[in-house]
Structure 1
Amino acid sequence: MRLYYLVLFLILFFDCSNNKEHTTATKNSITESVYASVTVQPDSLYQVHSIVSGILQENLVEEGDIVIKNQPLLQIINNSPKLNAQNNRLAADLAYQNYKGEATILNDIRNEIEAAKLKFKDDSINYFRQSNLWKQNIGSKAQYDTKKLNYELSKNSLKLLKDKFKRTENELKVLLKQAENNYETSLINTKDFTIKSKIDGKLYALYKEPGEIVNTQEPLASIGSRNNFIIEMLIDEVDIISITLGQKVLVTLDAYNNTVFDASITKIYPKKDVRNQTFLVEAIFTEVPERLYPGLSGEANIIIAKHDNVLTIPKSYLIDNDKVSTEDGLKTVELGLQSMEFAEIKSGISENTIIYKPE
């Protein structure tokens, strides 16, 4: 009876084992890749801002227009800069007249200097004449002291006037230069009310309508390259160390259904976005889609490595990441590359080893 139950148990055990889902390792090609979300943007895309405030008078171009560098895009109106320019021009004219005009402050000082020179000459003659007489014991001491005092006073007065002339001349020269600079700056500000393109490209968006208020914080338009587009990818921080320049990228865009486009990585931004814990990576198309628009989204797989003719098993058969269930029990395997569905087996089992899918 015991023998009967033992045989029955073995039959049931092997029957259950045979019915359990199983497979063997097979030789295939395997590719390891990093997944990323994709957004397509024009190259050199930038937001157009105004450096002055005012009211939008006119949009000189329309969305979709091709633009060239320095082409006027928008016209803003504001009377304040024009009034400032006029006031600065008047101030510059006044500063010029004060410095180089006929009735200038410097001319008044020059006249004072000429009068002081005549007085100094006269006092000098009287002093030296009196000094010679005093040496001959002619005249009184009081007369000598008075002549000497007048001489020294006129000498100091002349020196003070000359110093005043130089100081005033320098001050007027500086004031004139400042006034001219202010006038030139105000002219530049009036020109800033015409917003121009910084690049040759395409106008992708206008954000303001004529009559709306314009400030320096809000963008007025969006301009980028006409034909060149870049692929922006957000890479998880756990994968960024696997990314290098030149790696091949397989891109699928929602607008092109299942079509796969080749691309290659051209730029890796080193700063992490702490909000979503990702790094920004750029790529360019190797084969460019027929038509692209800013903001097209999709998915990408960045090829990290590829091995051909290697043993692979479905990843669903792995237990604890490095073990498989065999007829002889659990066996540890050495893994190589891993894709989304398969794992490369470098050692631990062979093509003939039957492995069971864990429940």
Structure 2
Amino acid sequence: MDALRAALQQQIDQDRILGTVTAVAHRNELIFHEAQGFRDATSGMRLQAHDLFRMMSSTKSITAVAVLMMQEDGRLDIDDPVSRFIPSFKDQQVAVAPPGTTSPEEVRLVPAQRELRIKDLLTHTGGLSSAPMGGLTSVASLINKVERRQGDSLADYVDRLGSMALDFQPGSRWAYSPTDGFDTLLRIVEVCSGLSADVFLEERLFQPLGMRDTAFNVPAAERGRIVPVVQRAGDSWQAIPSMFGDGPYRHLSGAGNLFSTAHDFLRYELMLLNHGTLEGRQILKPESVRSMARNHVGQLFDEVYPDWTGGFGFGLGVAVLEDPSCGHGRGLGTFGWGGAYGTVTWSDPELELAVVSMVQQPGANLTSVIAPVLRDAVSSHRAQG
């Protein structure tokens, strides 16, 4: 793994990142788990392999697995309407307006042609609080006024989301829902299981997988392990506030506020790579993992922003590589997702790899650095027999 170590160090030396923790397993064996660079902008302290990272949207994959667990338990079907579990989502409306409008007065509401389904939220095809992307605008944001209040629980907030207009007819487009879609999904898990999100995930996923450092709220004694979020400012690095604040959190976001380590998320990706089982313990059935890792949206994701999404379909909470020429060396069928501060994880069935890349700075993504090196390493290993 000297080539991987050198490629990552080059990113640090060129001031593209301040530091990173990377973990890789091949054929279920750990072949790389190292911290490189620094953990903050001022102290000169080196990153440690066990440091804690804000996973941001890497949380979404975890939420998708929780939903699939509830489906396996017979508590829901992903084709169920959201209103079955959260009645405020009944009889939603869709916002429409002339192209390019910025005026709320030009927005009108029409009935949704069908109810919003759980699967729509899992695949970002529901139109709930969509982010502008690929030239698509969020018309509904011009009139929607629902905001998270201080002290809100997940139940408090999600119940109010049902009053919001959708950006488009459910299932008709792909547009990323940064927070509200997956917060709604995690609330559905709470309703189905009768447990709070943190208790459910600890009992059903984190503890069985040995993810001992993954949680929404980090214990006070461990908070010193949290890596600060940084950005480049001219010729230096500076710390910046995190999007979700410092916690503790009452609102447990299924979209983005888990903390974790490279060790923990590698175990999670290995479970997915092994069809739902790790070290003899089944977390998901193989058919659930296959559903998660299958493209459910046709060309909707591939076409939304070709420079980024081209060659990919979208599964349940994860992007799915359908054209390997777009994957920077990753194999056909690779599936995974990342977070706003540079956490990226994936499972690659073709190359038999589970990969975790941890950074804490907006916009950082080391996939194009890591993936080609791993492709070369696996190819060399296979050539040697």
Q: TM-score band (shorter)?
A: under 0.3
Which protein has the bigger strand share? 1
Higher gyration radius (CA): 1
TM-score, normalised with respect to structure 2:
0.16
TM-score with structure 1 setting the length? 0.17
Structure with the bigger RCO (C-alpha within 8 Å, sep 6+) is 1
